[in-house]
């Protein structure tokens, strides 16, 4: 089936947070929303068909999860990434962020330091601080827009014996697909210092320009035994509103410790629609995904070329993954709140302020979501060019 990702979809009337919460967040409504990480693109037809069939049953009682659900999740991992987790060691969760919060709560103590690198997805900070723990951050090394791990600083942080290292693999927002060598060194150091790895791999299906995802749990048996992996169909197939993710554990002890918290609140079932949508996505969604990736690559290339030809003050290092661009806007000479205010009030774009991913490391950056029709992207870039031209006196 051929999908049309360039067909505009009006999301103002479907309770989309990306649109309906924009004015409260950015102070105005007349913006192109390119912030929160969901897509302005229709999901795969087999998923829609599965939801339609479930809807026609007309009864939405308590939902029982069949064995085929986690089997589909694990078979997808085997096909896409060469890794087949044990379905018996998989758990359902509402989402990766609730899972991160639970790991922090259950596998550390108040006052503990939790390790992660920056810049990084802003919910990492909240997941740690909301439970009375402290953020132990290691800034990534950046050279000409390319980010890598500073292993000397990383090891020094591990010497403080943090109970958890939360890894963003692949990385949001800098668009890195970590290599096997990088992952191995991270993993071996964590094993050496007794730090459990929580690997957030929610973007793992969104690999671009020939890059491949390497699950942390595939690097070695020793590292696999020290890694809990977080995955989801929601980022891949634009299903975030259905609230379903999967956690892969290395052993029953860690699995049962995690599950005890959620069972204590009787939260352990899919809803009626996430159950069928997730399984349909992983069994029948690959054709849609391959077309999506081609669309995203085209959009990335469009922005790359447009910036080089029209807005040299803003630079982009080509991402290896995700649909989120990490724009270096330092050439505009706007400090602090001036940059996000410029994007909102002059360019009329709702982008993520880079400081939300790390106050120091994100200064001067904006994150742009390009999972949209090309016409939306063309309009956004034209608005950005006009604003920059005016600002630079061109």
The β-bridge partners of 115 are: 136, 165
Cα–Cα distance for residue pair 387/394, rounded to 1 Å: 10
Provide the total of helices (H) and of strands (E) in the chain, helices listed first. Answer: 15, 14
Same fold across 17-44+287-388 and 59-284? no
User: For the chain, which residues make up each domain, given as ranges?
Assistant: 17-44+287-388, 59-284
- At which residue do the structure tokens 């749990």 appear? 217
- DSSP state, 314? S
The hierarchical CATH code for the domain 17-44+287-388 is: 3.90.1150.10
Distances (CA, A) of 351 to 30, 315, 362: 13, 15, 13
Cα–Cα distance for residue pair 48/27, rounded to 1 Å: 34
The third-level CATH classification (topology) of the domain covering 59-284 is 3.40.640
pLDDT in tens, the chain (394 residues): 999 999 999 999 889 999 999 999 999 999 999 999 999 999 999 999 999 999 999 999 999 999 999 999 999 999 999 999 999 999 999 999 999 999 999 999 999 999 999 999 999 999 999 999 999 999 999 999 999 999 999 999 999 999 999 999 999 999 999 999 999 999 999 999 999 999 999 999 999 999 999 999 999 999 999 999 999 999 999 999 999 999 999 999 999 999 999 999 998 999 999 999 999 999 999 999 999 999 999 999 999 999 999 999 999 999 999 999 999 999 999 999 999 999 999 999 999 999 999 999 999 999 999 999 999 999 999 999 999 999 999 9
pTM of the model: 0.97
Alpha-carbon torsion 61, 63, 66, 71, what sign? positive
Q: To 10 degrees, what angle do helices 151-158 and 180-193 make?
A: 20
């Amino acid at each position: 089936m051929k999908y049309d990702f360039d067909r505009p979809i009006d999301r103002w009337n479907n309770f989309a947070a990306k649109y309906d919460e924009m004015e409260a967040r950015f102070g105005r409504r007349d913006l192109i929303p390119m912030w929160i990480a969901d897509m302005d693109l229709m999901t795969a037809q087999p998923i829609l068909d599965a939801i339609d069939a479930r809807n026609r049953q007309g009864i939405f009682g308590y939902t029982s999860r069949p064995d085929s659900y986690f089997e589909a999740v694990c078979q997808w991992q085997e096909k896409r990434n060469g890794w087949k987790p044990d379905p018996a060691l998989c758990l359902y969760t509402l989402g990766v962020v609730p899972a991160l919060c639970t790991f922090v709560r259950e596998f550390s103590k108040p006052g503990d330091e939790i390790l992660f690198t920056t810049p990084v997805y802003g919910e990492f900070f909240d997941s740690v601080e909301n439970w009375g723990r402290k953020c132990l951050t290691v800034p990534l090394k950046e050279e000409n827009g390319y980010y890598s791990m500073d292993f000397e600083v990383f090891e020094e942080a591990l010497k403080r014996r943090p109970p958890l290292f939360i890894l963003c693999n692949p990385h949001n927002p800098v668009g890195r697909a970590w290599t096997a060598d990088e992952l191995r060194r991270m993993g071996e150091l964590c094993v050496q210092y007794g730090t459990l790895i929580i690997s957030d791999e929610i973007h793992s299906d969104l690999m671009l320009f020939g890059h491949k995802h390497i699950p942390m749990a595939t690097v070695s048996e020793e590292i696999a035994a020290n890694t809990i992996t977080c995955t989801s169909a929601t980022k891949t197939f634009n299903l975030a509103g259905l609230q379903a993710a999967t956690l892969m554990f290395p052993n029953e002890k860690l699995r049962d410790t995690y599950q005890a918290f959620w069972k204590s609140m009787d939260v352990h079932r899919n809803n009626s629609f996430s159950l069928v949508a997730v399984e349909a996505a992983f069994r029948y969604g690959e054709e849609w995904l391959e077309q999506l990736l081609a669309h995203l690559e085209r959009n990335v290339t469009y922005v790359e070329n447009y910036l080089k030809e029209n807005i040299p003050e803003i630079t982009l290092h080509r991402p290896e993954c995700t649909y989120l661009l990490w724009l270096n806007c330092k050439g505009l000479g706007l400090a602090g709140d001036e940059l996000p205010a410029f994007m909102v009030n002059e360019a009329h774009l709702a982008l993520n302020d880079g400081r939300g991913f790390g106050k120091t490391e994100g200064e001067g950056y904006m994150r742009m979501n390009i999972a949209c029709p090309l016409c939306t992207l063309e309009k956004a870039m034209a608005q950005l060019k006009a604003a920059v031209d005016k600002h630079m006196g061109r």
